[in-house]
Structure 1
Amino acid sequence: MASSSRAGTSGVSRKIVWLAIAVVLAIALYTGGWFYAASWLKDRVTQELAASQQGLHSASCSNPDVRGFPFRIGVFCDAVGFDDRPTGLSATFGALRSAAQVYWPGHAVVEIDGPAQVRMTPDIVFDADWSLLHASVVAGTDGLDRASVAYDGLKGTLNAPSEGLTVAVSATHGEKHVRRSGEALDVAVSLHALTLGLKDKVLPPVDVALDMTIADAARWLSKEGVPGTVPRGTSTELRALSLDLGGGKTVTLSGPVSVDDEGYVSGALDLTVEGVDAWRDRISELFPETAKTARKMASAIKSLSGGQDRASVKLTLRQGTVYLAFFPIGEIPPL
């Protein structure tokens, strides 16, 4: 009996030893694989960044590193930059931190520090900073499938010296989401408590929301990127563009909009205004020089809606000319 007991105990011990060896080997193999993948990723990023400097769309990452062991993997940079030569757009940002689960490397989360500077030819410059900016991207073999960006505490200044324009911008929270929808591109944007400062005027905080689909634009998320001619030659279904001042004062636009190859805008939009008189008074207060026009517009909108303070009217855009019913009320210059 004693011999049998010792044999049983010995068998169990061997199984435990073999299990321990297997666990150690698995950990060693996983660790080696992770660090091999990290080395490969760092080399690949370095090569791609170097190659991009010779192309039309270049990117930079200072002091690139790969971190996240054991269950994540991601690229870290002390600073990042982007230069799109066809559009004359370039940008610089602070540190970047990214992470993807090892089992799903195509889905990554990213945090970017400020400050940032975005430049567009000939002399448009946007300087910005924020308390938090994070993004989520899902990529396939031919580029992004979808991406989201959210930020808090945005503050910035837009300068365009050639236009004599300086605009201060702030928002407590903002989000942008893009995704492929077949051959189209879905875009949703929201800004909470957006405030604009124009010279000696500070506009009241407004919540902004945009929801639209751009036809034949899914390829913009591929490696070919956004064409330098955008927005010309685009066709968009504007599901909703809304401005909300609070207290029931809202403006909403919806309908199809297109921009031809010469930059002229055409479309058929539904305009809904909640609180026509309140909007008239606010615009007149902020821009006294437009008070007369604001009164005429408010009167026309209310008359087309039976005198109600909640009005729904049709706006028609033809080659940049805006019509309310049959009456031209403004011009949109070529984009």
Structure 2
Amino acid sequence: MRKLYVVVALLCAAWCVWWWVASSTLQNGVQAWFDARRAEGWQAELGSVTGGGFPFHLQAELSDIALADPDAGLAIQTDRLDITAPAHWPGNVSVALDDGPILLASPLGRSALTMQDGQMALNLHPGTALELAALGWTANKWTISDATGVQVEADTLTLTMTQDSGPTYDFVASADSFAPGDATRAPLRLPDTFPRAFDSLTMQARVTFDRAWDRRALDTIRPQPRQITLHLAEAKWGGLNLNFAADLSVNAQGVPDGSMSIQAENWRTMLDLAQASGTLPPAFRDQTETVLKLLAGASGNPDTLDVDLTLRDGAIYLGFLPIAPAPRLIIR
């Protein structure tokens, strides 16, 4: 029995040493990453890093965080970020986001993201590259607002990114009761009778990148999409029903090539909203409606548009007619 006590005591001592080394490595690693970003010309401010979680978890509580990547023109600022991982494998990381406003800036403008119970979970493969196996992001009530007011809000957020093999990942996203805020509804001139929230907003896709997501995605250039299969993107709102699907290949310049299908129910209501918001000038209403009526009639249902588009040579084609430039699909 005495030998058993000695063995248990040695194991406990070894575990304590391991926990202390792993906890110190986590805290020092966070600080070193911020130092490396500053050396690259980023704004990378960190108020403090404190540890905890003994004996079964590793924790790093970060405060007063400000990050800005001058090349991408992206910035984020938050008061708190809590990182937790099991002590036996630090590669399964849980990140608790701040319930207070998270300030975001991009070339599109400045906004504030507020979430209740925002959580991110990362599952990493063993190894120094820390290749991403899965990522999940969930939250309860959340809003995005700017100086004009609330832009969008929803009751929940679910986003998952799961590695299938190598650089190929499956994406699933949904938001319950997604709703444009008053700052968004006002320019659209939506009638008071129009529903405030979407009935459904979901997306399922598979994307193959030029390399797998790993620690280099934060340190250097982001992985870029090379093959995109959009199984379904669906939005239902007040009798409007939009469905998108696509199969695209993307070259090194971010130019997509492939096909896209769009199905839109009650498309006349969409025209009404576009005209009311000023997006569609009244002078073009009749002409646009005539074209869409012909397209809807060709699909067999006058109330439903069912259109197949082709993307090639940097343009979007409807049949043989180029109707718009194709977007550049580049992750900054």
Q: Which of residues 214, 237, 254 in structure 2 aligns to 1:245?
A: 237
Query: In the aligned structure 2, how far is the partner of 1:46 from the partner of 1:225?
Result: 14
Within the candidate set 260, 265, 272, 2:263 is matched to 272
Deviations 1:167-213 (A, max 9, x none): 71212111222233323343332222222242724664223222223
CA contact (8 A) 1:61 1:80 kept: yes
Name which one, 1 or 2, has greater alpha-carbon Rg.
1
Query: How far, CA to CA, are the matches of 2:219 and 2:174 in structure 1?
Result: 21
Q: Deviation of residue 234 (structure 1)?
A: 4.6
Aligned residue runs from structure 1 range 176-325, under 5 A: 176-180=159-163, 181-196=165-180, 197-198=183-184, 200-201=186-187, 204-206=196-198, 207-225=200-218, 234-245=226-237, 249-258=240-249, 266-273=257-264, 276-277=265-266, 279-285=267-273, 287-288=275-276, 289=278, 290=280, 292=286, 295-296=289-290, 298-307=292-301, 309-319=303-313, 321-325=315-319
AA at the equivalent of 1:96: L
* Structure 2 CA distance for partners of 1:334 and 1:51, relative to 1, 3 Å: closer
- The residue that corresponds to 2:106 in the other structure is 120
Scaled by the length of structure 2, the TM-score of the pair is: 0.77
Q: Which has the higher contact order (CA 8 A, sep 6+)?
A: 2
Indicate the larger mover: 176-185 or 100-109. Answer: 176-185
CA contact (8 A) 1:219 1:225 kept: no
Is the Cα–Cα contact under 8 Å of residues 154 and 170 in structure 1 kept in the other structure? yes
Corresponding letter in the other structure for 1:152: N
Corresponding residue SS for 2:140:
strand
The answer as to whether partners of 1:185 and 1:217 remain within 8 angstroms in 2 is no
Report % sequence identity.
20
Partner of 2:152: 169
CA shift for structure 1 position 119: 1.2
Give the drift of 1:254.
1.0
**Partner of 1:146: helix, strand, or coil?**
strand
2:138 to 142, 150, 153: 150
Q: CA RMSD in A?
A: 3.4
* Greater mean deviation of Cα atoms: 257-266 or 303-312: 257-266
Distance in 1 (CA, whole Å) between partners of 2:237 and 2:66 is 36
The 1-side partners of 2:221 and 2:22 are apart by 35
Q: Distance in 2 between matches of 1:262 and 1:311?
A: 32
> For structure 2, which runs of at least 5 residues remain unmatched after alignment?
191-195
Q: For residues 98-157 of structure 1, what are the alpha-carbon distances to aligned partners after superposition, in whole Å with 9 as ceiling and x for unaligned?
A: 211122211111111031111124x62121111121010012331323211112211112
Cα distance in 1 for partners of 2:79, 2:27 equals 19
Provide TM-score, normalisation by structure 1: 0.77
State yes or no: 1:134 paired with 2:126.
no
Cα offset, 1:326, TM superposition: 4.6
Q: State how far apart, in whole Å, the 2-side matches of 1:89 and 1:166 are.
A: 21
Displacement, 1:242?
A: 1.5
Q: Is the 8 A contact 1:257 1:265 kept in 2?
A: yes
Q: Is the 8 A contact 2:94 2:120 kept in 1?
A: yes
**Distance verdict in 2 for CA 1:45–1:321, change over 3 Å:** closer
Shift of 1:225: 4.3
Cα pair distance change 1:263/1:137, threshold 3 Å? closer
**SS of residue paired to 1:63:** strand
2:173 is matched by which residue type in structure 1? V
Partner of 1:162: none
Provide the residue aligned with 1:72 in structure 2.
57
Q: 1:135 to 1:217 in 2, by over 3 A?
A: farther
**CA distance, structure 2, for counterparts of residue 70 and residue 238 of structure 1:** 44
